[in-house]
Structure 1
Amino acid sequence: MFDGMRRRIVSMWFPRLASDRSLRGRPVDAPFALTLKEENANRIYCLNPQAEKQGLHRGMNVADARAFCPELESRPASPADDRAFLHVLCRWATRYCPWVGIEGADGLVLDITGAAHLFGGEAGMLCDMRQRLARAGITARIGLADTRGAAWALAHFAEGRAGPGDAVAALRPLPVAALRLEEKTVTALERLGLRRIGDLEDAARAPLGRRFGPDLLMRLDQAFGRRAEQISPLRAPPHYGVRMGLPEPIGLCDDVMAGAARLLDRLCETLTRHEAGARVLCLTLRRVDGQAQQVELRLAAPMRDPARILPLFERGVSGVDAGFGIDQMRLSVTRAEPLPVEQMSHSAPARSGRLEDLITRIGTRIGLDNIQRLLPADSHIPERAFIVAAAAFSRPGGGWAAPRPRPLRLFAPEPIAGTGSRPPERFRWRRMPLTTARAIGPERIAPEWWLEDENWRAGLRDYWRVETRQGRRLWLFHTPQNPGWFVQGEFV
């Protein structure tokens, strides 16, 4: 194989990925660290160069770090945001080559074979990478070699470029940890005196294989190019968007809806192929004067049925100012969710989706977040036996697991006059004189000791269902530790 056709791999390592991401949004001119709770201790997750100069390091207890460096500023770490940021960098790196993959939690790997000449050669490409990352405030170490293993070793232990065919000479003086080995394997090799990759290469292979297994020799062969190692590029997320140019400007609502119907048919076909459903759609209408108006539709459930989605656009489209006419339409999904194909069954009735459509129609007027439902919660305390959730972003839960019936109307406890441990025969509630006809109880409910609740700190409550001669069916409780009677609910 000619040198010009050799495979060339770039490894990018971002040693301060998390702290660089956080400081890009809110810069700090002082020792800085991100903290993460691990094994019941708050430890340093990532830190900037100023903190490292103070003797701090990753995994250090935050309390100890503040003792060494009182001026240390910190924020909670967010590994999920770090992963998302790494994906952004992966998409950015496709400007250099199409084959870009993620290397661990803080690195990228690029196959730049045949692409370096577009940037004036390999040196020019690496210089462009470093300059762009430095302007973005991202610390990076870059290695370039014939193999993925050699490029990774250079990025982590000897930043630079190994020319075509020079990987062996570049790797020999590096420590054995540059072979991407486990820490225990590295420690065992160093105890045997095999501290450099060159020492490992010169040693007999058979004893190494018997003692350390096939992984050691595999990593060694991958670094020297004796065994192939593939790069799996990150798949770009599917794009859900269609557009349509119009030969003549339109302005009537019916015409816009007809165009939206055509776009929806094409869009839903794409969603069906990817087994996805739209939660938020955006219809962009470009006018002949260059201005554009948007109609956003937020759905109460993921959908890909054009017949159900199209009528939901009517309210938004009717309020569009078409000006001198609309000459282009674009429909895109700004938020999609998985919607796998369901197996049809003759025993289970098919879901009509009418409730979701109703929630969507009402949501376009008052907002989806303002339409709420009650869901059961795992608590025997009446006030904590339910949670309030947005109906569009939750599903109906199962029935309430209550040992006794609960009132449909529940309110804050209201005191009434009464003595003894049984409901009073006559009492006054909300200015109404009531007479007890029948009482069922008591049901004793103890407070949840692990929760701080002012209303339940008084102690036990004995609940009674009381039917009055006046027709009121009330839920009363008595507090034995501090004698008193209260009404907390009403059965309807």
Structure 2
Amino acid sequence: MLADTVHGLRLTATNAAARAAGAQVGAMLTDARALCPQLKVAPGDPAGDLAFLERLALWARRWGPWAALDPPDGLLVDTTGVAHLFGGEAGLLEDAARSLAARGLSVRLALAPTAGAAWALSHYGPEQAIWHAGDSFDDLPIAALRLDPAVQLVLRRLGLKRIGQLSGVARDALARRFRTVRAPAANPLVRLDQLLGRVPEPLLPVQGKPVPLAQRRLAEPIRHRSLLDRVVEDLAADLVRSLEAQGLGARRLELGLWKVDGEVLVRKLELAEASRDGAHLVRLFAARLDDIDAGFGIELARLSAPWCEPRALSQRDFETAAEAHGTSLAACIDRLSVRLGAEAVRRPELHASHWPERAQRWLAPLEPARERQESLVFHARPLKLLDRAEPIAVIHTHPDGLPRRFRWRGNLHDVLRAEGPERIAPEWWRERGAARLRDYYRVEDGQGRRYWIYRQGIAGDGRGDTPDWFLQGLYA
């Protein structure tokens, strides 16, 4: 494949036969034909290659939840926790090789804990490589660090041709040599740390469908918070217009900030209800930008909404419109979630279960009920239930009789009145065969305090030793 450069036609891709004849990627066409007169060439199609790579990335999600591009001809797939579905790591690689070969593709595969390690092994290791604990990258060439050609040339002139030779050079010396270089591809220390997993390497997965987004490529890098807030405000306004045009509201938002040194900062938000209120979105992100370190500056900002839901147009000129559609409540929930955490704002939902601790579930504040609940007829239940039933010691007239005295939290209580039992059988479809039934009693002590206690099991039921007693609730 050919590309037209300022210096003339160059080879951008070669097959095995061309490489065997001496044609190498990056060589001038005239030089390549001097070595291989019978060389056949065709013009390259970078846009078509990129489109094909994107489609392949979506198809490659059969081996993981997401895949990212590694131009010009690579893919990075997150396979965390997936290998056992293919019989192990070797089985996963074998399935990938077989499936890709069926599509007419020649591939080199590697499985490693970091993107940098997988790239190094796939380009400079065996055709199917798996990293194991204790393996070393010392014998791989410097090019396995994904460095720019100019940086590789500098390191070779210094006598550093293998990754292992970097360990023989003081880190401070390399840091001084590349102290003004921030781009990862031009800094061997950054690439080495990414290879070994010492620093994270942000990757952008390929989305299966176009998502509403707004982007700003800044003329000058910004470092101050006031300017960043203005950029976020402009992005939110652009995104709201895109959402309105499609009749959608955002449930999840992702703000990506590209720094001059190549690092990508990502901040995410999930909303209680689909929204396209720009001012509300800006207020939420304001609480997530306090820890941003702009470094030498931010040169690109992107705001996207990967999760959207249909939202009808509403009249925004009246405050009653917001109340009618519940946006005021949603805005309050979003603010509480950002301040307290997403798991701190929940609402209870009744659940069809006779067991008290299973009679309710917790849902997101505005999430609809999961199932229609049938009414259950209960005896008088206490208003206050303990988070977990606490064991008590009980004295009774006989094993199946009413309790006469019990000790709870170190205090002894004489039972003056008792009522029961209310028998609740175990949920056989959830419990094991040894689960025991419960007999609940409502009791009152000498000070007029009322308790809800139960005996777990019956003497001689064949499902355990002597029945245990527990206190589960208090009456007002």
Q: What's the TM-score, normalizing by structure 2?
A: 0.47
Q: What's the TM-score, normalizing by structure 1?
A: 0.45
Taking CA–CA contacts closer than 8 Å with sequence separation of 6 or more, which of the two structures ends up with the larger relative contact order? 1
